[in-house]
């Protein structure tokens, strides 16, 4: 998949998650939240030439991005997206204030990650 396709997929998944949650489908919405976060991260990792083909590689990319940017909120954003990923399989999240807060955290994470597309510190970009 091309970098631009990952970016668009991330954005599309955020929209799709809203639709799924509005319809009451927590499972599909949760997986779309995870998908948005992971595709945003894959786009940045691919742009920088980093590994992104496994969950562990994506976790490492988040750590490196957080360290480089000085933005530790990226770690929390990834953790919130992992919570939605787990919810897809185990359906443990209730649609309450914590749920809404977690959705906002993932949305913010996706935005912050995509904003790093053109700030590659490894190439001086």
**pLDDT per position as a tens digit, 64-85:** 999 999 999 999 999 999 999 9
Q: Average pLDDT, stretch 33-61?
A: 96
How many structural domains are present in the chain?
1
**Residue 33 CB contacts under 8 Å (≥ 6 apart), including other chains:** 13, 14, 17, 81, 84, 103, 106
| CATH number, position 16 | 1.20.120.330
Does residue 23 belong to any structural domain of this protein? yes
**pLDDT per position as a tens digit, 85-96:** 999 999 999 988
pLDDT at 122 over 70: no
The boundaries of the domain holding residue 110 are 3-118
Does residue 112 belong to any structural domain of this protein? yes
**pTM, entire model:** 0.91
How many other C-beta atoms can be found within 10 angstroms of the C-beta atom of residue 2? 9
| Distance (Å, whole) CA 27 – CA 50 | 30
> What mean pLDDT is reported for the chain?
93
pLDDT above 90: percentage of residues in the chain = 87
Does residue 125 belong to any structural domain of this protein? no
């Amino acid at each position: 998949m091309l970098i631009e396709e990952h970016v668009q997929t991330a954005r599309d998944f955020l929209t799709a998650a809203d639709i799924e949650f509005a319809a009451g489908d927590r499972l599909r919405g949760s997986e779309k939240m995870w998908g948005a976060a992971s595709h945003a991260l894959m786009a940045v990792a691919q742009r920088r030439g980093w590994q992104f083909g496994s969950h562990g590689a994506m976790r490492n990319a988040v750590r490196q991005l957080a360290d480089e940017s000085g933005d530790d909120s990226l770690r929390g954003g990834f953790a919130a997206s992992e919570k939605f990923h787990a919810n897809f399989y185990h359906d443990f999240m209730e649609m309450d204030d914590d749920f809404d807060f977690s959705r906002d955290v993932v949305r913010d994470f996706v935005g912050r990650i995509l904003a790093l597309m053109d700030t590659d510190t490894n190439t001086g970009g």
